[in-house]
Structures are given as structure tokens and as C-alpha cells.
A and B are shown apart, each in its own frame.
Chain A
Amino acid sequence: MKLKQLSLFLENKPGALSRPIRLLAKAKFNILTLSIAEANQFGILRLILRDWEQAKKLLEKNGFVVRVTDMVAVEVSDEPGGLARILGVVEKAGINVEFMYAFTEKRANKGVLVFRFDDPDNAIKILQKGKVNVIASTDLQNGAEAA
């Protein structure tokens, strides 16, 4: 169920972001979504890609340090209160959201929220119990991970 997120270290200087993005573009990798966390002197680029394993290899070959973390993707209905309902489930269980970001899945025209939890396995159980539609990672990504 868990989605693989690639995190990259970026220095805070011109061109730092475009270098990995261009690398991925040239090799025809499609980025499902990304987010950037920034500090004073550096940032962390987080990427969700369909072919994350090959993308990781490519980035590492080009000198990037890449970290893989497990994320949880859930479907959110495109109507007022959609996100609030999901957060309600999370909140009630008392679990902590480290961060999240969102994108729309073109084929189904649905909103997708990507969550980073401390304990993703536990979070998946809680979300499913709360009738939240957790998206199977195989729907979004190729590669080894299933479960």
C-alpha cells in the first residue's frame, strides 16, 4: 500500500532544482508530484515517480544522495469537506502527520493526498477503518513494493 518517495538534498543556489528535474526529463521520467521543504541554506526535494527505482539509480549515478521513504496515498473527493473528513479520521486516532502534499490523478480525475506518517502501516489501518480510500501503490508506481 505504501508509496515510495524519493528525497534529494539541494543546495540553496541557482540551478540546484533544475539539475535533477532536467535529468529526469531527459530520461523521460514522469513526475507524479513533488514538494520542496526549505531551510535557510538548503532544501529537500521530494518526488513521487512512477518508475522510482530507475529514477533513483539515475540520480545516484549523477552524484545525488537519494533517500527513499514510505508514504501513504489516499483518495480525496472533489467536494467541500473532503480533506477535513480525512484529517478528522487521522486526528481522532491521535496520529501525527509529518507533512503532506496533493495532486490530481488524471485518469480518474480524483484528488490524491500523499501523507508522511511516523508509522505508515498503523496509519493505513486507521484510515481504512475510517472508510478512507487508501490507494494501492501499484496503481501509481511500478517496482518492487507491493504489500
Chain B
Amino acid sequence: MKKNQPAGFHPVSAPDFLPVEQLRSLQLQRLQGMVQRAYDKVELFRRRMTERGLTPADVRTLEDITQLPFTMKSDLRDTYPFGLFASPMRDIVRLHASTGTTGKPIVVAYTKEDIKVWENVIMRSFAGCGLHAGDVIQNAYGYGLFTGGLGAHYGGEALGATMVPISGGNTQRQLMLMKDFGTTAICCTPSYFLHIIERAPEFGVNLKELALRTGVFGAEPWTEAMRRRIEAESGIKAYDIYGLSEIIGPGVATECQCQAGPHIFEDWFYPEIIDLKTGKPVTDGGEGELVLTTLGKQAMPMIRYRTRDITALTSERCECGRTLRRIQRIGRRSDDMFIIRGVNVYPSQIETALLKVEGTLPHYQIILTRQRGLDEAEVQVEVTREVLGDTVGALEQVQRRLSQSVESLTGLRFSIRLVQPQTLQRSEGKAKRVIDQRKM
């Protein structure tokens, strides 16, 4: 039995509907304050401004933001741990850090006010997906240094929903609680939810019979094909939530019930799209790298942060009536892109190609190697119950079809290797899509 989704308006969503002019003037006012704060408190930013002959007074309009220096991920590494903080430790109430697969992690800080802002955008995210007090939200994002768990947690509580802080992993228990607690919504990575879908039958759970009706999925790029598969197999509505620790964590942008791309909470985060090569602004609707500026972050202002996420920004009004601009679902990151035999390939292309073949196989990993000076690419795909038969012929046919599908989409021949289910690496529940073993 699925409950109907009430389309009611939640007062916390009011800023989502601000008249555009009012929103722009609020953004400018906050941007000016933010630039001043970063200039006064963060040495690296002040130095870069000075090098360009700029002072905070040069930000007179929103367009002036394009004069300001970018902040890169490497800046966070280079100033590890506290070099970009704008608040003294006595005002900082929380630190989070990335898992840091290479070298030092990235550290982010929050004042009490920052935590409030975070709560606010998560509340608006959940409300936008039709959640409210009375919902039981199973939060399967990892709790800990990772921003996903605690971020969603406090926002959900503030909304009045019942949060179940189960964290990631232990699929059997996830399913048990989902059933026993009457969970109505789940937050996790889309790849982890697919895993839950796959394993549910083993534990005698039919997801379509549960009270579960909403999924808020993020923390990794995913495709529209993935959404369709999730919705068809579990009977829930799947929403995309976008965020990154450097800006605040989850809740930078979230889809509304129209599922037409995440709305950026623009009163707190100012978006730009820039050309990957030139760094110049791209016109509305054009594709490029998303650059974000925090408009209220006290502990760690981020000015023009290069997210590496590739998307487009649209100011076309959404049917929901929100004035917040939307980004396109983020299916790829510029640093996920790999070049093989001179061709640029994104994991999302591979994902789309794999999902085109029936008996879809959504868990995959791309392994790049170099043999005798030649790039070799292999896509490892986990075998699912749907494609397994008792003869090798059927599987070999699946292998061939996958290979053809990838080739027709990328123009490149990848070898396809079928692997045992649940053997591909996952970290924080995030699927790791590309492993580059080429020695350059």
C-alpha cells in the first residue's frame, strides 16, 4: 500500500519562491558580506585579490563575481587542516572531513549559524520531495566524518520527521527496519539503494509492499536510466540531492516533485557555469563546470569553488513555481573523465550503454591499463540474477551485447568482464567507477 504524496506547501520552503529580483538583491548583499569576510579573515583569498588589484568594494553587482579568483580543491589540501577557516576555533562547532583516498583529507568547518543554514537547506530539500513531519526517514548515508549522514539527520529532525540513523551498510538490517518501522523515505547513494533492491528478495522483502514511497539519493553521479530502474523496481519516487562538503554537504540543490533537475538553494549558494577550458562564463543553458560561492558560510567561506561537476544551469521556470534555478542532473565530473586512445569518455556514457542492454547491470567499474604502450580499457560488470542462466552461451551473449552497446555509444571497444556480484569496490557507499592503472 502506497500512501499518496500530499502536495502541501511547507512554510520552510518560502525562500524557494522569492520573486527573482528580490532573490538577486539578497544574493548581492550576501555576496558582498561574504567577500568582505573572506578578505578579512582568509589569507590566501586576500593575497589572490591583491594580486588582481581587487578589494571587496569592487563587487558592485552579481556579475562582478566573475572577476574574483577561483578556489580549487587543491587549495583545501595545501592549507590543511585549518588554513581556510574564517572563524576562530571557539566559534566552530563541527568539523567534517573527506575520506581522502589520496593523501591528506579535506577538512571543512561549521559555526552554529552554518549548521542552521545546513539544517534549513535540508529541510527545504525534504519538503521539496514531499516529506514532512510524520515521515519516517531511514538515513543510510554514512554517519561520521562524511557530511552525508549528519547533514541529512539534523535537517530531517528540524523538519519534524522521524530520523532513523541507521548509517550505511548491513542490508539485511536496513530491510528489516524498513519493514518494522514503516519507513516512508530513505536517503542513501543511488548505487546502495540498487543494492538494497537486489538483495530484498533474498530476505523475503517485497519493496513494493512496504510503506516506502520516497528516496532522496545523492553523493555520487547517476543517470536518468538509473532513476527509471530504481522507480520501476521498488515502486518509489527517486529524487536527486546534490551537494559537496566544501560548500556545505548535501543540500546545495535538490529536486522538487517535478523531478526536473535539482533546484539550487540560491539564497545560500551562488551558481555559475564556466567553460572547462577557458574558465569563462557559459550562457544560460550551456554546459560547463559548476562553480559555487557560499553566501552565508561563516566558518569557511568558499568563493567561486570549482566543483568539477559538469552540468548546465537553467532559469526556465519549473512547474512547481520555484524561482530557484535548476541544474541538470549531474551525471559526470570533469575529474572522472578519462582519455583513452585519445578519446574523452565519461563513466556516465558507459553506465547508459550498460543499462540499454536488457537484464540491466548497474554495478560496474572501468579499469584502465597500459600494455606495451597501448591503452586498454576493461569494464567489469557484476552479474545479476536476471542475466544468469545455467549455460555459458547466454552469458557470453550478454557480454557481446554489452560490448556492442558500449562501442556504439563511445566509438571505442572495451572488453567486458563479468564478475561476482558485490565484489566491486565501494567506499562510503559511493561506487568507485574508474580505476586508472596506467603508468603515465
Contacts and interface: CB of A to CB of B under 8 A. Distances in A.
B262 to A, nearest CB: 34
A39 to B, nearest CB: 4
Q: Which of B385, B391, B418, B419 has the most CB of A within 10 A?
A: B391
B383 interface: yes
Interface string B412-424: 0000011111110
6 contacts: A10-B420, A44-B395, A60-B202, A65-B388, A67-B388, A99-B391
B176 to A, nearest CB: 14
Nearest to A16: B420
Contacts, number: 60
B205 to A, nearest CB: 13
Contact of A42 (B202, B385, B418, B421): B418
A79 interface: no
B183 to A, nearest CB: 23
Given A39-B395, A61-B202, A65-B383, A7 B389 contact: yes
Contacts of B419: 11
A65 B418 contact: no
Contacts of B391: 37, 44, 98-99
Given A46-B390, A116-B390, A64 B395 contact: no
Interface string B161-194: 0000000000000000000000000000000000
B420 A69 contact: no
Contacts of A41: 417-418
B396 interface: yes
Contact of A11 (B202, B384, B390, B420): B420
Nearest to A36: B392
Interface in B307-329: none
A29 interface: no
Interface of A: 5, 7, 9-11, 16, 37-39, 41-44, 46, 57, 60-61, 63-67, 69, 98-99, 116
B144 to A, nearest CB: 25
Interface residues of B, number: 18
Nearest to A19: B420
Q: Which of B384, B389, B392, B417 has the most CB of A within 10 A?
A: B392
Nearest to B382: A65
Given A10-B420, A39-B396, A57-B202, 8 more contacts: A9-B418, A9-B421, A63-B421, A64-B420, A65-B383, A65-B385, A65-B388, A67-B389
Contacts of A37: 390-392
Contacts of B392: 37-39, 42-44
Interface string B386-402: 00111110011000000
B395 A65 contact: no
A142 B417 CA distance: 36
B100 to A, nearest CB: 28
Nearest to A37: B392
Interface in B353-379: none
B421 A64 contact: yes
Contacts of A10: 420
Q: Which of B385, B390, B391, B418 has the most CB of A within 10 A?
A: B390
Contacts of A66: 385
B367 to A, nearest CB: 13
A65 B384 CA distance: 7
